[in-house]
Chain A
Amino acid sequence: MLAAVYAVLLYVATAVFLGGLAVRVWQYASTPNPLKIVATPAPTTAAGVCLRLVREVAVFESLFKANKWIWLFGWTFHAALLVVVLRHLRYFTQPVWEWVALIQPLGVHAGFVMLASLLALWARRLVVARIRYISTPSDHLMLALLIAIAASGLAMKYAAPTDIVALKSFVLGLIYLDWQPLPADPPVLVHLGLVAVLMIVFPFSKLVHGPALLFSPTRAQVDDARERRHLVAWARALASER
């Protein structure tokens, strides 16, 4: 019964996450940029723009210019999250890929780094008057959610070790449609439940900032307005009206 509830929840969450994200990306990709509004100095070629976006995604270039503390906590959180997610691939693959096996020790440390940087980000949100002013309840809750996910995940390993082999066969069962029982440990249930919540919330919240960055016109446009005429459909229609 428990396994069935969680199975359905995780299927729904995955569908909402992927479907919602696809819709978002389609919305951003299909909404026109009638004008060149790239923030300069900017690359003058498409390859240059790709490199600019890689720098923004990989090292948060603009944020680094803005504020070293936000950059430090924000970047370490995202980097740690990436390692943690990669580490989790071991629960989805059989046999486990070699490189995934290799990063396992790193992944465990990353869990703590992630938790610490989330706490630091939350502290800034509470302590710095300017950031407190711009925060809504959802901004606090989002941090709480991520912290709870990280903490419950670490609890599964350190506080109340769960039957990880059983858990993995539950996950593999979800993938191969061969449902298996779910270990009924509280940290497991909390962890999986909150991850499902996160996936469901993702496409409808500020968490879309990741994919959005790739479509952000001030970053993703090429600085070539004088060389190439930029004209979108509704603007073209305006021109033919006259």
Chain B
Amino acid sequence: MDQVTVSDSEVPDPLEIPALAPGAMRASKPYGAAAEMQKPLGFPGALVENWQDKAIEKMAELRGKYRSFRLFLDACVKCGACTDKCHYFLGTGDPKNMPVARQDLLRQVYRRHFTLAGKYLPWLVGARDLSEEVLDDWYSYFHQCSQCRRCSVYCPIGIDTAEISMAGREIMDAVGKGQKYSNEIIGKVLRLGNNLGLSKKALQATLASLEEDVLEETGVPVRFPLDDEGADIMLVAPSADYFAEPHVAGLIGYAKVFHQAGASWTISSYAAEAANFGLFIGSYENMREIALRIRKAALDLGVKRLVFGECGHAWRVAYNFLNTLAGPFDFLDQRYPIPQHICEFTYDLMRAGRLTFDKSRNDHLRVTFHDSCNIARASRLGDRPGGQFEIPRAILKATCNHFFDMAADTIKESTLCCGGGGGLLTDELIDLRKKGAQPRMRALQQVAAEYGVTHMASMCAICKAQFSKVLPMYGFDMEAVVSLHQLVSNAIVLDRAGEASPKGQQ
């Protein structure tokens, strides 16, 4: 049983503003990418000799290709609205983790090279040359942004620091200074079709054992099909769903929903990955390569629909970019959203009265919900704006008797990042991840103290992995994070007729 240990003292305000601690996180750096990780992505293997010139060239290129880059670097008025909005700033106090200061690391160099004032009066506008020290700061602090877009909600001009940190990483990749974690994973998905490097055989074995587990537990032969040609639906799930806890419990939930709906579905071994780390490094080309695998798999399997599993940034890429990167999807059934989210799929069935839930099966849980940033602020669920907040909550309320929201300024569009998004979910950054999780953890401690909340549901693979790691650091059980479809899985009543008669009790 999970124990929540919140001391009697009052939980501090999740959004409490720390005193400035200059340089506190300067030493935080992810491991660098080795040459063999850089080259398959089209990047130089190591820092190139004339890296300053190359970086400026890359900036000029981005300035022509991305309006966001040019406009966001031009238009900031330094009003300070964003300064207390970043979870990494709240957790560390390092002023370079204030969104505007993070942007300024790039803006200073941009001004020096691309603005009149910066060229002739650099001291006036804080323009700087691209020195080794600046590059060092870029590497540190552009890897202390989880690209969660919380700051952009509050910016009067709509400046999004995620775009800046993506551009910063893209420039660094272009001069040969890549990050190991993201680039190694992109290499794996391009070679093997998933971030974990699972072979088709391993995947097959995993799915077969899940079928056995579910049959044993429920007595119902719920299938987990792989590469099933001619299936209607191709499920694209984050690869963590195949083996990690609590992710796999979510996958079982999707399978039960498909089963209950009588849907014909399959997973593709060629595109067994919803995640697309090309986003994190700002690389349109790599993001596109990964997205095209999904198109090819859908064509090869002859499916009619695409459904995505629970993964935040993957849904951003799927919802907003898939049509751009790998469309047009004129070969799919146009009566359904392309792509569709598993929550939309489940919610539609719920509304059609085709799912029955026994909520009491979740009575041992007192649940809150963590809105994942990329779903909350960078995409949508359903037909209406804000569906990304309403649909998961509707599913939770349909499957759980005890649901409680966290403080209003820490959820929905104001949601706090888990602290591990944007390509930072790597062991060497654990100190940063712990500190960045602090605001969310405090918000959770509040509802734990107030309502006795024991579990936090999430619909993002990165959030789930990050929380499993940091929850114990804040006095919670690592299993206090659950998949949204895990709760669906617990509560769903499997009573569809017409299936081969299950053995044992039902």
Contacts and interface: CB of A to CB of B under 8 A. Distances in A.
Interface of A: 24, 27-28, 31-44, 56, 60, 62-63, 65-67, 70, 74, 124-125, 128-131, 133-139, 141, 204-206, 208-209, 212-213, 215-220, 223, 225-226, 228-231, 234-235, 238
B299 interface: no
A39 B378 contact: yes
B327 interface: yes
A159 B160 CA distance: 45
A62 B324 contact: no
Contact of A37 (B82, B320, B414): B320
Nearest to A24: B74
Contacts of B115: 204
Given A43-B385, A66-B156, A226-B319, 7 more contacts: A28-B71, A35-B284, A65-B414, A130-B98, A136-B126, A208-B75, A209-B77
Contacts of B320: 35-38, 225
B78 interface: yes
Nearest to A206: B77
Contact of A134 (B65, B80, B288, B377): B80
Interface stretch (B30-38, B43-51, B147-155): B147-155
Contacts of B327: 229, 231
The 3 closest A-B pairs by CB, nearest first: A66-B154, A136-B126, A66-B81
Contact of A67 (B19, B81, B117, B126): B81
B250 interface: no
A230 B309 CA distance: 24
A67 B244 CA distance: 40
A52 to B, nearest CB: 10
A224 to B, nearest CB: 10
B70 interface: yes
A212 B68 contact: no
Given A27-B70, A60-B156, A137 B83 contact: no
B76 interface: yes
Contacts of A41: 380, 385-386, 388-389, 413
A141 B124 contact: yes
Contacts of B100: 134
Contacts of B276: none
B23 interface: no
Interface centre among B65, B85, B157, B377 (most CB of A within 10 A): B157
Interface residues of B, number: 72
Nearest to A205: B117
Interface string B327-360: 1100000000111000000000000000000000
Nearest to B100: A134
B163 A37 contact: yes
Contacts of A27: 70
A139 B101 CA distance: 14
Most buried by A among B67, B72, B115, B320: B67
Nearest to B284: A34
A36 B324 contact: yes
12 contacts: A35-B320, A42-B380, A62-B158, A63-B81, A74-B156, A130-B98, A134-B78, A209-B75, A216-B71, A216-B159, A226-B337, A235-B284
Nearest to A73: B79
A33 B65 CA distance: 8
B20 interface: yes
Nearest to B386: A41
Contacts of A66: 81-82, 85, 154-156
A200 to B, nearest CB: 11
Interface in B358-406: 376-380, 384-386, 388-389
Of B156, B324, B386, most buried by chain A (CB within 10 Å of CB) is B156
Contact of B67 (A42, A125, A130, A215): A215
B451 interface: no
Contacts of A228: 323
Nearest to A201: B117
A39 B152 contact: yes
Contact of B385 (A56, A62, A218, A223): A223
Contacts of A125: 80
A130 B95 contact: yes
Given A35-B320, A136-B126, A229-B324, A213 B117 contact: no
A38 B116 CA distance: 30
Nearest to A242: B292
Contacts of A65: 153-154, 414
A52 B126 CA distance: 33
Contacts of A220: 158
B211 interface: no
Contacts of A124: 80
Contacts of A63: 79, 81, 154, 156
A37 to B, nearest CB: 6
A226 B338 contact: yes
B84 interface: yes
Interface in B242-292: 284-285, 288
A42 B378 CA distance: 9
